[in-house]
Structure 1
Amino acid sequence: MPYLYAVQSSRLFAQGAVNTLFHLGITDLCFGSESGNIQDFISSYELLLQQQDTYNHTLKNLLKQGESFPIASREAYKKVGLDGATSIDLTKPNNILGFSYVREILDKQLPIRPLTIKRIKSDYHDTHIHSSIASATSIREAIITKRRSVREVERTIPSATLDQMEQYKSETDIFHDWENYFPLIHYRVMTMSPEELESILGVDEGLEYRLKRTAPHVTNFKDWMQAMKTKRYTWTRLQRMFVHILTNTKKRELELIRDHVPYIRLLGMTKAGQQYIRSRKKKLQVPLITGIGGQVHALLKVEERASAAYYSILSPTMRQQFLHQELEKPIIR
């Protein structure tokens, strides 16, 4: 998915994912959830539809009182009867994302059947690996924070993924971590005016002044996050803001994805997938893009910036090598 969809809250993430798959002609969408019962999602959607005004009113009031969006949304859900007792528990992250998928499908009456499987053994926020089924959080914690070798998480990820991770670490001698980007983000904030910061996506409600106030006194990213954190702003919300500062993504650029998917960018496919794409190509209502070289769509310019920011912490030679991959044709296997 384009960067602008991927680094968003669940509603916009779901919009990008569901509509991309819709244009590709999928008939079924299956997602993991803590609930594991798709009828609960559908019933909860129908209840929210009936109580939409109450939900919106409650959410607005709680946000005005200084609550963070996740807390305000959770309380608003409870207000309309979505409390987890007779419906899905919308405090759980995979339920929240799954509910956004279902809302997007039903709101737009897309010809897609939603399905779900129950998440087991590992919670989304687990920071420790307990079995072969592990959370992404715990895998990242083991490799990046605890500096363990990739082989120590071997039982939790596919062998192909393991090989790719080992190859990347061997070539670059790095796994990307927030602290790697701290000097770059810090430089941008220190050299930007409050007005320039306010134009960045995610810098809302005076956060530009909080950024300018805290920046001179922090020496690493974790400390900066602690200095920025309040009851209103969640850790994830602040991380998204910092990503947009790093990539220089402006609020006005969000219009590039509002209410529509401008294109489908294909990264790779099997032989069977290639045949399927050929059968669908004439039916596609949006362009199918196989690379970003020579493309002029404004959203692809944002993609190029995001890639440049991601690889900016590598050596010049490695950076050039990986950026060149963005111009290559899709992988076919």
Structure 2
Amino acid sequence: MNATGVIVEYNPFHNGHLYHINLTKQKTGADVVIAVMSGHFLQRGEPALVDKWQRATMALQAGVDLVIELPYCFATGHAKDFAFGGVSLLESLGCQTMSFGSEAGSIEGFKSSYSLLNAHNDEVQLNIHEQIKSGISYPQALNNSYKVLSAKYNLDLIDLSQPNNILGYHYVEQIMTHHFAMQPLTIQRITAGYHDDVSKNESIASATGIRKELLQQKQLSAIEQFIPPTSLESLITNDSYSSWETFYPQLRFTILRSSPAELRQYVDLTEGIEFLIYKAAQQCNTFPLFMQKIKSKRYTWTRIQRMLCHIFVGYTKEQRENFTSPRYIRILGMTSIGQQYISIHKKDFKLPIVSRVASFKDSMLEVDIRATDLYMLASGHHIIGKDYKTPPIRLLNK
């Protein structure tokens, strides 16, 4: 069976995602679409709007055949780590193609960009290091270094200031660096940019805009034109949605019950920022005020939010040292076609399949289980052990 993979968050699954899945199938002739999806905490350092099983169900109802969980340590990592985790899982599952959305829309620009940066890696890293010392963020430093090289060698390459281009570059980088067999494919984003607010004149909007509209308006009618009917039906069951604003009391408690020295053990906390985080938690009653106290030119909103995820979940630097690559394939859900693919190809998979959490012991999986428990408590569901109690979703293809 011809398998195509995607790396996703589906927060929530919307019409742009549906467009991407349908066009990917058309371009690849895929028999099965496999999604590696983040769990309860996301790459930009946020709790997911709704839980991972609900988001997996939305995906299966809209054309995905198999949903695999991207472990927390990669799902909340920097773009390069996020890409490596997702691409590695798709490779282990035998995907022939990996498809991603981008602002560029052409895979050749990504390949050329990789070749340029790889060929001049020492020059790039030195330039990045010097710029970071001046106080700018890593993404800005990377893009500036890239522009310098692009002008120097007179090459027309992709714009690495665009968020989906950045992730796309890292997908291609990981595939080419590790000599994976699958081929990258990109689908151009249409209508809405990554950070754009919703437009009532369109049927496609960014996930960022959709979440913002839903959390502000607090009614599904505000977003129904931007999501498939199946996603809308799924969201109707929710009486609340998760965000840092709703999680802040628990986050604040977690910070203040620790000392700054204890906070320092968590992933990404460096340069004494633990003192700033601790002080802001003492002074601020709301999440926006807390973030404004910490945000700076050096510490972007996303970078800080990732730190907060790690504090909240208790993910330490010592743990990260041991989590170098995915160790298992955790199934969240599948259609009958996805189940057929597993039955035919499971002997060829490069990692063990986990369908029952209780039957598989691994410290990487334990972090995911803890993340689920804390997410459920903070979102008001008061459920512990849902990973143990929830079998993979099974959906019959029509």
Write the mapping of 1:41-120 to structure 2, written as runs, cut at 5 A.
41-81=110-150, 86-120=156-190
Any conservation in 1 of the 2:242–2:379 contact (CA below 8 Å)? Answer: no
| C-alpha distance in 2 between matches for 1:312 and 1:23 | 33
Q: 1:133 aligns with which of 204, 216, 223?
A: 204
Query: How far apart are residue 44 of structure 1 and its match?
Result: 0.9
| C-alpha distance in 2 between matches for 1:282 and 1:233 | 45
Any conservation in 1 of the 2:254–2:312 contact (CA below 8 Å)? Answer: yes
| C-alpha distance in 2 between matches for 1:279 and 1:175 | 38
Alignment correspondent of 2:4? none
Letter in 2 for 1:80: L
Write the mapping of 1:198-237 to structure 2, written as runs, cut at 5 A.
198-237=264-303
Relative to 1, partners in 2 of residues 1:254 and 1:120: Cα closer, same or farther, differing over 3 Å?
same
| C-alpha distance in 2 between matches for 1:9 and 1:187 | 26
Identity of aligned residues (%): 35
| C-alpha distance in 2 between matches for 1:158 and 1:276 | 26
Q: 2:235 aligns with which of 154, 165, 176?
A: 165
1:299 aligns with 2:364: yes
| C-alpha distance in 2 between matches for 1:112 and 1:11 | 18
Helix, strand or coil: the match of 1:219?
coil
1:12 aligns with 2:81: yes
Relative to 1, partners in 2 of residues 1:85 and 1:123: Cα closer, same or farther, differing over 3 Å?
farther
Q: Deviations over 1:2-30 (max 9, x none)?
A: 11111112111110111101010000111
Write the mapping of 1:148-297 to structure 2, written as runs, cut at 5 A.
148-167=218-237, 169=238, 173-258=239-324, 260-297=325-362
Relative to 1, partners in 2 of residues 1:14 and 1:249: Cα closer, same or farther, differing over 3 Å?
same
Q: Deviations over 1:262-317 (max 9, x none)?
A: 111011111111111111111122111013224320011101110011111344xx
Please report the TM-score for the alignment, with normalisation by the length of structure 1. 0.93
| C-alpha distance in 1 between matches for 2:379 and 2:173 | 40
Alignment correspondent of 2:66? none
Any conservation in 2 of the 1:194–1:208 contact (CA below 8 Å)? Answer: yes
Please report the TM-score for the alignment, with normalisation by the length of structure 2. 0.78
1:32 aligns with 2:101: yes
Helix, strand or coil: the match of 2:204?
coil
Letter in 2 for 1:200: Y
Runs of 4+ that moved beyond 3 A? 82-85
| C-alpha distance in 1 between matches for 2:118 and 2:339 | 39
Q: 1:319 aligns with which of 382, 386, 396?
A: 382
| C-alpha distance in 2 between matches for 1:27 and 1:79 | 35
| C-alpha distance in 2 between matches for 1:326 and 1:77 | 46
Unaligned runs of 5+ in 2: 1-69
Query: How far apart are residue 31 of structure 1 and its match?
Result: 0.8
Query: How far apart are residue 207 of structure 1 and its match?
Result: 0.7
Any conservation in 2 of the 1:122–1:133 contact (CA below 8 Å)? Answer: yes
Helix, strand or coil: the match of 2:186?
strand
| C-alpha distance in 2 between matches for 1:94 and 1:8 | 15
Query: How far apart are residue 323 of structure 1 and its match?
Result: 4.2
Name which structure has the greater RCO, CA cutoff 8 Å, separation 6+: 2
| C-alpha distance in 2 between matches for 1:289 and 1:282 | 14
| C-alpha distance in 2 between matches for 1:282 and 1:58 | 46
Query: How far apart are residue 175 of structure 1 and its match?
Result: 0.6
- Cα-Cα RMSD: 1.7
Query: How far apart are residue 134 of structure 1 and its match?
Result: 0.5
Higher helix share: 1
Alignment correspondent of 2:36? none
Helix, strand or coil: the match of 1:100?
helix
| C-alpha distance in 2 between matches for 1:265 and 1:88 | 34
| C-alpha distance in 2 between matches for 1:256 and 1:82 | 40
Helix, strand or coil: the match of 1:293?
helix
| C-alpha distance in 1 between matches for 2:317 and 2:349 | 29
Higher strand share: 2
Unaligned runs of 5+ in 1: none
